[in-house]
């Protein structure tokens, strides 16, 4: 299946109820489970990743199956690896899609084994699937690199309070995606955890999570595509459910897009984002080490504006749903954009000169959502596997229709 997407030139106006943050939702679901399942979580994400987490935790609780399959849901896989390791007397096989079996998990498994977890690789060393036998006899000190994936460290942090002696995590290199760890720490503290956080050490004391009702904030990563659209089209959009004092690192999108003439004003229901029409910039440079999920959005924005871009701090993009550096380079070239890639960076230049063939999405929701705004620069854009957006933003296409995009399906 593919979508053929087009839009007339001109500004967009809308009132958008953004999806809830899956990052917050999945952390809270683990915390609630460790707090014995009490507490009401409102506005949980309807994304595939969160629905997988809900289903998996229920299967673990019911014990009806010895295999938990998380499909493409990387966050769920990592958090559940740690969670299952701490569940005394329970044994499960944790697996996923073919792509999940290509995503390394060795650093997390090594860290869990170092504190006494019983985990075996069932196919290739360092990769899913895993056989995990839970135990309550986990030690309290572990070291882990900070430059591979913040989700590995978050996975360890979440179980820390439930361990008999807590958990002392020593970080052996510079942290990437630090805001996600700060989010984890803030949510843990909100529900009773006692911890100290620094770049080199996270000290978590033994304590019981005390669950209470919580409303999940909308997703700033999803908001980024609206900032991109407003930059390319102009106009004004109200994005519901966002908070000025957000736990999400991707709220940095406000500051980044102010460079392209966008303003953000907060109100009770969310925020109003609008363009002052000042997009007369020629170059853009940014280090995405702390906010890697915004990188594709800014790559596509620069391409749409004809702005030369120099994107750094992209090392974690290679182990996402796809190798996002190469995938973006491949697709932007179809528009006539010149790209140069390295292990942790990408530069691009040139203007959109050509009508691309079908845009591939590589089973990656962010590929689809970051590239489709470029439909305003060409006659039409063909997007393969449009359903991939359900991983984080199931109503994305409906919301585009609401602001004037024409979206036709082709089952061929």
| Domain limit, last residue, from 152, 183, 215 | 215
* Banded model confidence at residue 412, pLDDT cuts 50, 70, 90: very low
Same domain, 192 and 242: no
Eight-class DSSP state of 219: P
Taken in order 58, 60, 64, 68, the sign of the CA dihedral is: positive
Are 271 and 291 found together in one domain?
Answer: yes
Distances (CA, A) of 200 to 9, 144, 187: 50, 10, 20
pLDDT in tens, 137-175: 999 999 999 888 899 999 999 999 999 999 999 999 888
| 160 close to 166: Cβ distance less than 8 angstroms | yes
| pLDDT band, very low/low/confident/very high, at 400 (cuts 50, 70, 90) | very high
Per annotation, catalytic residue among 293, 344, 364, 385: 293
Percent share of the chain, pLDDT over 70: 99
Write out the residue range of the structural domain in which residue 284 sits: 2-19+218-410
At residue 174, the pLDDT reads 85
Q: Which helix (H) or strand (E) holds 50?
A: helix 48-62
Residues 189 and 249 reside in one and the same domain: no
Q: Which pLDDT score, from 0 to 100, does residue 277 have?
A: 67
Boundary-marking domain end, from 198, 215, 232: 215
* Catalytic-residue membership of 276: no
Q: Are 194 and 278 contained in the same domain? A: no
- Contacting residues for 89 by C-beta, under 8 A, at least 6 apart: 134
Q: How many domains does the chain have?
A: 2
> pLDDT at residue 181 above 80?
yes
pLDDT digits 0-9 by tens, 318-354: 877 789 999 999 999 999 999 999 989 999 999 998 8
pTM of the shown model: 0.91
CB atoms under 10 Å from CB of 54, counted, come to: 16
Q: 175 with 138, same domain?
A: yes
> Of 169, 196, 215, which one is at a domain's C-terminal end?
215
Asked if the model's pLDDT at residue 183 lies above 90, the reply is yes
Are residues 125 and 245 both part of a single domain? Answer: no
Q: Which CATH number belongs to the domain containing residue 244 in this structure?
A: 3.65.10.10
Alpha carbon distance 255, 249 (integer Å): 11
Mean pLDDT confidence for 209-231: 95
pLDDT score recorded for residue 115? 96
188 lies in the same domain as 225: no
Do 169 and 247 share a structural domain? no
Same domain, 181 and 130: yes
- Same domain for 33 and 69, yes or no, is yes
Please give the residue that has the higher pLDDT: either 108 or 63.
Answer: 108
What digits encode the pLDDT tens for the residues 85-102?
Answer: 999 999 999 999 998 999
- Say whether pLDDT at 397 is over 90: yes
Whole-angstrom distance, CA of residue 51 vs CA of residue 261: 37
- Closest by Cα among 28, 25, 57, 36 to 191: 28
Section 102-114 average pLDDT: 95
Same domain for 311 and 336, yes or no, is yes
| Statement to judge: residues 301 and 271 lie in one domain | yes
- pLDDT, greater one: 316 or 206: 206
């Amino acid at each position: 299946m593919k979508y053929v997407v087009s839009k007339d030139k001109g500004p967009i106006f809308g009132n958008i109820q953004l999806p809830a943050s899956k990052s917050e939702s999945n952390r809270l679901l683990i915390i609630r489970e460790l707090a014995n399942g009490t507490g009401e979580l409102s506005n949980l994400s309807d994304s595939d990743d969160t629905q997988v987490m809900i289903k998996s935790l229920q299967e673990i609780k019911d014990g009806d199956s010895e295999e938990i399959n998380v499909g493409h849901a990387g966050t769920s896989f990592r958090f559940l690896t740690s969670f299952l390791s701490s569940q005394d007397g329970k044994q499960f096989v944790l697996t996923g899609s073919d792509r999940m079996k290509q995503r390394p998990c060795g650093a997390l498994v090594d860290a869990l084994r170092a504190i006494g977890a019983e985990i075996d690789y069932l196919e290739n060393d360092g990769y899913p699937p895993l056989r995990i036998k839970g135990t309550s006899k986990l030690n309290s000190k572990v070291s882990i690199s900070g430059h591979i994936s913040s989700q590995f460290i978050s996975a360890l942090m979440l179980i820390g309070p439930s361990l008999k002696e807590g958990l002392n995590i020593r970080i052996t290199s510079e942290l990437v995606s630090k805001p996600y760890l700060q989010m984890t720490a803030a949510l843990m503290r909100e529900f009773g955890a006692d911890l100290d956080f620094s770049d080199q050490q996270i000290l978590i004391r033994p304590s019981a999570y005390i669950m209470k009702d919580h409303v999940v904030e909308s997703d700033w990563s999803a908001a980024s595509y609206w900032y991109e659209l407003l930059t390319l089209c102009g106009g004004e959009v109200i994005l519901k459910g966002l908070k000025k004092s957000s736990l999400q690192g991707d709220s940095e999108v406000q500051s980044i897009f102010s460079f392209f003439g966008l303003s953000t004003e907060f109100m009770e229901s969310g925020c109003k984002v609008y363009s002052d029409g000042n997009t007369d910039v020629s170059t853009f440079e940014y280090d995405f080490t702390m906010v890697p999920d915004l990188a594709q959005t800014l790559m596509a924005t620069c391409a749409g504006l004809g702005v030369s871009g120099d994107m750094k701090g992209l090392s974690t993009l290679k182990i996402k749903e796809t190798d996002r550096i190469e995938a973006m380079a491949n697709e932007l070239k179809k528009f006539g954009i010149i790209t140069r890639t390295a292990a942790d960076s990408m530069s691009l230049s040139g203007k959109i000169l050509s009508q691309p063939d079908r845009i591939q999405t590589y089973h990656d929701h962010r590929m689809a959502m970051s590239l489709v705004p470029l439909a305003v620069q060409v006659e039409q854009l063909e997007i393969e596997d449009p359903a991939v957006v359900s991983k984080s933003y199931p109503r994305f296409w409906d919301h585009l229709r609401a602001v004037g995009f024409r979206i036709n399906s082709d089952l061929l």
